Structure 1
Amino acid sequence: MSFADARRSGSEERRISPVFWVLLAILGTSGWAVWSGYGAPGFGVFLLVVAGWMVSLCLHEYAHARTALHGGDITVGAKGYLTLNPLKYANGMLSFVMPVIFVLLGGIGLPGGAVYIERGRIQGRLKHSLISAAGPLVNVLFALVLLIPVGQGWLDDTPGVATVRGYELHTFPVALSYLAMLQVSAALLNLLPVPGLDGYGIIEPWLSLKTRRAVEPFAPYGLLAVFIVLWQSKVNTWFFNLVFQIMDLFQVHAIYAGLGQVLFRFWES
């Protein structure tokens, strides 16, 4: 392969996928509709939240892959992980289908995740930890981008308004509050030190070989175990109280996210 061919191949491996551009287009269009008050507010919020959630999942996986590339795994490009194409990830069901279903059913930010990193190519425990931390960090940054303008009141005068459960409210900041709640919950769940989640991936390189081998058989069931526990009412209440306390730090009240969820679930009204 010539230098020009290699350069062209590398460029194609990093070219943003049309699928991701479509997601951005839906996000932008629905965001404008909700902001301006065009069309049915509930359906607009639904599209905005689903598209925003899927964009964040793409960026979450991209962050894992990009960090792995700089850490030494040069195979991530050939696998399509750098194109932001959700269809290229190792397990589309876990990375995208299940997270969207959980948002539809219960408003829980299910951690996505399945880019296959060839860990043997990466040297150094810190690099392994950074690769695992990169994904949740995206959710944290995404949440900050949403919470700060809402909490500071920068969006209080947007044109789009709707009446929900007796409240007349501006739909755009309410929709962003709900999307922010998903990001905060996803970050918290992902950072749990449970096998199969990124939180365990952060600490795993620092554990003894004996401990890692003992834990390894449970990794495929870690996420399932978390959600079985989270399904219990007391744990669920505690978890979302923590989510809302974090949002309160940015002066975004829980009722904003709750009303955003009501608009999102427009088929129930």
Structure 2
Amino acid sequence: MSWDRPGDPLVLGVPRAAFRPSPVFLALVALFVASGVMTWLGFGNVRFDVFLFVVSGWLVSLCLHEYAHAVVAYRAGDTDIAHRGYLTLNPFKYTNPLLSIVLPVVVVLLGGIGLPGGAVWVDRHAIPGRLRHTLVSLAGPATNVLFTLLLVVVLQVGLRSGGPLEFWAGLALLAFLQLTASVLNLLPVPGLDGGNMIQPWLGPQYRRMYDLFAPFGFILLFALLWNPRIGGAFFGAIFTVSDLIGLPPRLYAEGLSLIRFWEN
């Protein structure tokens, strides 16, 4: 084992501190737990409690989504990713906090959609093999899928035992956000995770075209969803999957209404 300074061992040349969860992430987790308890107990303005519960839970999931990308990239060969701070789950280390944190939260509040955010920068040249590149891109959406299923299980079990409607509505909205994020992230749109999964397998000509459109992936996504036919088909598919996995539509709709605490 090599050492950077006394008490700071290295892992593959990286200080162990690069792997520790940041105080920012731990504060988000604490806020998520505390607001969940406040929602359950009906403390103060319960609609504001649900707002904090959903937004902090969504931010925690965003951090874990990006962490999944980073840790798989690290294991795949991009060890410098640890020096960029991505393995500390600190959202302020992301390449674009506005796109990664602020915009997704605004979209959640306005439309109830789990918007994917562009965040960690991966050194693709340090990762050998197309399959590894695909796995790096898949890691984030896989995290959202896992959270979706976990939250639905908790919701189904919890509803049988009773408890405050506001708490379960907030949890249902979180599950719905994870579901929409899962589907959006898996769409084969340039610049998004779904597109990045197939990019390594494209021929040189198509890869150049992909790289040309990748910076405009968000704009392309909004344009597609804005189209009535495409947007309608997307949300129809979301609602169908939601019904199949047992996510009550009235409950997550109630959750979306509750987090808009500023409305009457």
Report the CA distance shift for 1:234/1:258 in structure 2 as closer, same or farther (over 3 A). farther
Distance in 2, Cα, partners of 1:233 & 1:268: 27
Counterpart of 1:237 (choices 229, 232, 255) is: 232
Are positions 1:94 and 2:96 aligned together?
A: no
Distance in 2, Cα, partners of 1:264 & 1:133: 30
Are positions 1:155 and 2:154 aligned together?
A: no
| 1:124-135 matched pairs, under 5 angstroms | 124-135=129-140
| Residues 199 and 210 in structure 2, CA contact (< 8 A), matched pair in contact too | no
Shift of 1:148: 1.4
Give % identity. 48
Shift of 1:158: 4.3
Are positions 1:59 and 2:64 aligned together?
A: yes
Report the CA distance shift for 1:221/1:98 in structure 2 as closer, same or farther (over 3 A). same
Distance in 2, Cα, partners of 1:179 & 1:32: 16
The match for 2:205 is 210
Q: What SS does the aligned partner of 1:7 have?
A: strand
In the TM superposition, structure 1's runs of 4+ consecutive aligned residues that sit over 6 Å from their partners are none
Are positions 1:248 and 2:243 aligned together?
A: yes
| 1:209-228 matched pairs, under 5 angstroms | 209-228=204-223
Of stretches 34-43 and 201-210 in structure 1, the one that deviates more from structure 2 is 34-43
5+ unaligned residues in a row in structure 2: which ranges?
none
Distance in 1, Cα, partners of 2:108 & 2:169: 16
Are positions 1:267 and 2:262 aligned together?
A: yes
* Deviations 1:204-249, CA, capped at 9 Å, x for gaps: 1111111101221111112211112212344333322222221212
| Residues 147 and 178 in structure 2, CA contact (< 8 A), matched pair in contact too | yes
| Residues 155 and 172 in structure 1, CA contact (< 8 A), matched pair in contact too | no
- TM-score of the pair, normalised by structure 1: 0.91
| Count of matched residue pairs | 258
Are positions 1:194 and 2:189 aligned together?
A: yes
Distance in 2, Cα, partners of 1:194 & 1:252: 27
Which letter does structure 1 place at the counterpart of 2:9? R
Distance in 1, Cα, partners of 2:162 & 2:24: 30
Distance in 2, Cα, partners of 1:254 & 1:235: 21
Are positions 1:181 and 2:180 aligned together?
A: no
Distance in 2, Cα, partners of 1:172 & 1:156: 14
* Deviations 1:169-190, CA, capped at 9 Å, x for gaps: x111111111111111111111
Are positions 1:37 and 2:42 aligned together?
A: yes
Q: What SS does the aligned partner of 1:113 have?
A: coil
Counterpart of 1:7 (choices 6, 9, 16) is: 9
The match for 1:72 is 77
5+ unaligned residues in a row in structure 1: which ranges?
161-169
Distance in 1, Cα, partners of 2:227 & 2:176: 19
The match for 2:51 is 46
Of stretches 34-43 and 81-90 in structure 1, the one that deviates more from structure 2 is 34-43
Distance in 2, Cα, partners of 1:104 & 1:175: 13
Are positions 1:17 and 2:22 aligned together?
A: yes
The match for 2:33 is 28
Distance in 2, Cα, partners of 1:252 & 1:57: 21
Which letter does structure 2 place at the counterpart of 1:154? G
Distance in 1, Cα, partners of 2:236 & 2:158: 25
Which letter does structure 1 place at the counterpart of 2:44? G
* RMSD, matched Cα: 1.5
| Residues 67 and 87 in structure 2, CA contact (< 8 A), matched pair in contact too | yes
| Residues 169 and 255 in structure 2, CA contact (< 8 A), matched pair in contact too | yes
